[in-house]
Amino acid sequence: MPSILLLSDPVLEKLRISGGATLHGELNASGAKNSAVLMFAASLLSKEPVTISNVPHLRDITNMIELLGSLGVEVVVDDSMNIEIHANTISSFVAEYDIVKTMRASFLVLGPMLAHYGKAIVSLPGGCAIGTRPVDQHLKGLRALGTKIEMKDGYVHASVENKLKGTHFIFDFSTVGGTEHLMMAAVLAEGQTVHENCAMEPEITDLAEFLNKMGAKVRGQGTNTIIIDGVEEMHGCHHRVIADRVEVATYLIAAAATGGKVKVKGAQPEHLGAVLAKLQEAGAEINICDEGIELDMKNKRPKAVDLVTAPYPGFPTDMQAQMMALNAVAEGTGTIQENIFENRFMHVSELLRMGANIKLDGNTAIVTGVEKLKAAPIMATDLRASISLVIAGLVAEGDTLVDRIYHMDRGYEQVEEKLRMLGADIERVPG
């Protein structure tokens, strides 16, 4: 495996942030890891090589490459992180717990292996500890397609005689992972499959476009009804991953919290409507240009905003923690209601250690802004919480040490380098 994929030991590192800098400058948006990992799984549907470009260099990406390698799949990576996947070398149909536990998306190899090869044994998933995230809708949908499923010792044993059969399936609730998973499984099924109550996230549309380039017949992506006409086989293709909307929003929010001005090149504003509206409400001037998105706070302190997380196109749960860090130093009081995950306020205790004024009432956080946070040793608990603590460190007085940044490395590419480009005083230090 090329050295570009070797990441340093996550347990031994922290981030040191000296607060007080106002962020200014330009950045290039990274590719969306939540799209790329899906395409790695979908590559198992094709006997021909597929090439995926604009892939970020992240721990979740290396974990997914490791998983494909454990299945015998050949993965070639160049210096620009273009990934070529040769799924026809597959020699195992067992996705082991030790790899699948590291990220939930790895569970989604189940459907493609099942659809293409008629069998798969996959461990139940792991990932961030942000609440119950069951896979019952995944399994219910696979059964509707004709899959025989048995649960043994924490593994899903799935098989099908001949081919999966098209079906009409209505999700009990909108689920991003379930929509993605069953869409991949259905592309090689006999006949037509109709999925209703689907999630509508941009990463689902990106995946559908990738599948269609491979020869699938998927339509309706981006709406709550997706129709898939099964095809006999899938072929190779090349696809460029969309920009990571969560990463883009994170840097815009960080700039707003510090009163700064940044441009994120390659950002896709059509995917960020709810976030941009809240940033404007906080006092930011937003400029959409051909190059991407520019935010200018004109050295002003942000104003507190109220928000409620909701499925796309509502305000994303993945950006709630970052906005809480902004509210923590904003003028006024803002309420944040978390409706997606029941455990996604774990960053609150760390923000309180830094002097934030936050009160919790069930799934609602009431945040009254203070003029300055105070530096403190703090600890990340999950991916998005980790970056919210980094934003807090940027606006705190003194040197903040953020521990357990391996969470952050799962989803943010070269975060300290990018923030230094914007003028932040930040470095990775031994733990």
Known catalytic residues?
A: 128
53 forms bridges with which residues in the sheet? 240
User: At 145, is the secondary structure helix, strand, or coil?
Assistant: coil
| Whole-number Å distance between alpha carbons of 195 and 167 | 8
CA atoms within 13 Å, Cβ hemisphere of 163 = 16
**Any residues with CB less than 8 A from the CB of 22 and at least 6 apart, and which?**
258, 259, 260, 299, 423
| Whole-number Å distance between alpha carbons of 91 and 107 | 18
Amino acid 374 reads K
Residue 364: DSSP 8-state: E
Among the listed residues 187, 193, 199, 192, the one whose alpha carbon sits nearest the alpha carbon of residue 224: 199
Q: Compute φ and ψ for 154, nearest 5 degrees.
A: 80, 10
CA 419 to chain centre: 20
**Any residues with CB less than 8 A from the CB of 398 and at least 6 apart, and which?**
18, 19, 374, 375
| Whole-number Å distance between alpha carbons of 237 and 258 | 43
Query: 333-337 and 357-361 as β-strands: parallel, antiparallel, unpaired?
Result: unpaired
Q: Among the residues of 239-361, which ranges form H helices? A: 245-258, 273-281, 320-328, 348-353
The label of the residue with tokens 């290396």 reads 62
Is the Cβ–Cβ distance between 220 and 227 less than 8 Å? yes
| Whole-number Å distance between alpha carbons of 178 and 57 | 25
User: At 338, is the secondary structure helix, strand, or coil?
Assistant: coil
User: At 419, is the secondary structure helix, strand, or coil?
Assistant: helix
Cis amide linkage into residue 313, ω under 30° from 0: yes
Is the Cβ–Cβ distance between 84 and 156 less than 8 Å? no
Is the Cβ–Cβ distance between 399 and 17 less than 8 Å? yes
Is the Cβ–Cβ distance between 266 and 293 less than 8 Å? no
